[in-house]
Amino acid sequence: MTDHQAPHGSPATAPPTVPHSLDRRFLLFLGPLVLTNILQALTGTVNHIYVGRLLGAGALAAVASFMPLFLLFSAFVFGLGTGASILVGQAWGARHHVRLHAVAGTTLCAGLLLGVVLAAIGVAVARPLMVALGTPADVLPQAVAYARGMMLLFPVLFTSMLTAALLRGTGDTVTPLRALLVSLSATVVLAPLFIRGVPAVGLPALGILGGVLALLLATLASLGWTAWHLRRRAHVLAPTRALAAHLRLDAALLRTLVRLGVPTGLFFITGSLADLGLLSLVNAHGSAATAAWGAASQVMSYVLFPAMAVAMAASVFAAQAIGAGQGQQVVAVTRTGMRMNLLLTGGLAVLVFVAAPWVVRLFVADARVIDIAGRVLHITVWGAVFFGLASVYSGVMRASGTVLVPTLISLGCLACLIVPLGWLLGRHFGLVATWVAYPATYLCALALQALYFHGVWRRRALQRLV
């Protein structure tokens, strides 16, 4: 068997030379991916609901204070996963499974090492970071404890996230979906038991750390199920000797992964820093405002999922087309991605806009928190649509190897607009107006990405790809 042949027993095949229906391929990819994202968020949301309902608004504020910090540290693995999915997509399109194993091995080793390093650093600096963010004094001890507990989970969480990214590069979005069903089921059962305790069987109440322990066990269960499932299917990414032989850091591959993944990582880092900047402004208004931030952010994550999923699909399909020597398909992929984003993300944004007050009540019973969070959602949901459209442009360009300009556009808008706009609007129009900075910033990014894509990139890149 040559490097370019599919291994015997592999359950999947490379993408067809000419796709019968790009819309159909998008939907088949997006359905499980969006559901996966939703289930992934539900795992965290269930913890938030249990914490808010069982321990009160103060505990929810403590959890909310940590979330932007979590996204900041996770940005590194988001970038690594993006680079891995692009390289896996290219190898899959070229039917080069030996290279696919090499990419997977380097990605998993790098992710595990990164998780260990960030966990050690994070635990050491958790308290000064939470203090620097202006976390309200009444929730600071709980916020620090929760932050340290979550940071210790980084090696396991990063491994789970990267495994899903590798599978998506092959076009498999169903396995990550099923794995998260396992994780969510475990969280639903375990979280309330660990938070409140079960005195009858000697299980103590762990409070806010009960949710952390439940997440750890749920993630380990999903990883175990994924390994078993892939081996049963003889999947190309199953944990076998062939894959184990490549579980090492390949310097050349790591450089390529970093080059492709840095834009996404920097985007999430910059976005997280912007969120932290806004959070420091919100924290000044007290724990009720911080709790409202947490509830609104949880709901917004669901609106962002279709946007991120469509952008990921566009990037994967563009990478597969390039790997298969079908550069002419890239423009069609972009058009389909834009259309899907308007349909899916736009539709969900309208739904959340209408149902915002009722959705927020799932998290907390405090009337003031519900009012603030509902008004915030009415503003921020539209930013998700702009974000999704801009991400399709940047994702397709990165899949072709064009990195610098899309990255500069995204980072420039996030770094220069969100916090200054939030401060200015909040100062003149009140707390809720702070969040107008989100849709305004992403609308600006969309306009600039579209101008570069249609005005420069499309003409230059397609000459090279076709």
Output 348 or 285, whichever has higher pLDDT. 348
Tokens of 183: 């994780």
- The pLDDT of residue 419 is 82
- The pLDDT of residue 396 is 87
For 23-59, the pLDDT digits (tens) are: 788 888 878 877 777 776 666 666 667 666 666 666 6
Q: How far is CA 357 from CA 39, 204, 367, in A?
A: 22, 35, 10
For 354-393, the pLDDT digits (tens) are: 888 787 777 666 777 788 888 888 888 898 899 999 989 9
Whole-number Å distance between alpha carbons of 160 and 193:
24
Whole-number Å distance between alpha carbons of 253 and 256:
5
- The pLDDT of residue 261 is 75
Spatial neighbors of 198 by CB under 8 A, at least 6 apart, are none
**Res. 16 pLDDT band, cuts 50 70 90:** very low
Where are the chain's structural domains? 22-457
Please compute the mean of the pLDDT values over residues 308-326 and round it to a whole number. 80
Q: Largest Cα–Cα distance of the chain, in whole Å?
A: 71
Global pTM reads 0.66
For 144-157, the pLDDT digits (tens) are: 888 888 889 999 99
pLDDT of 214 strictly over 60: yes
**Mean pLDDT, the chain, as a whole number?**
80
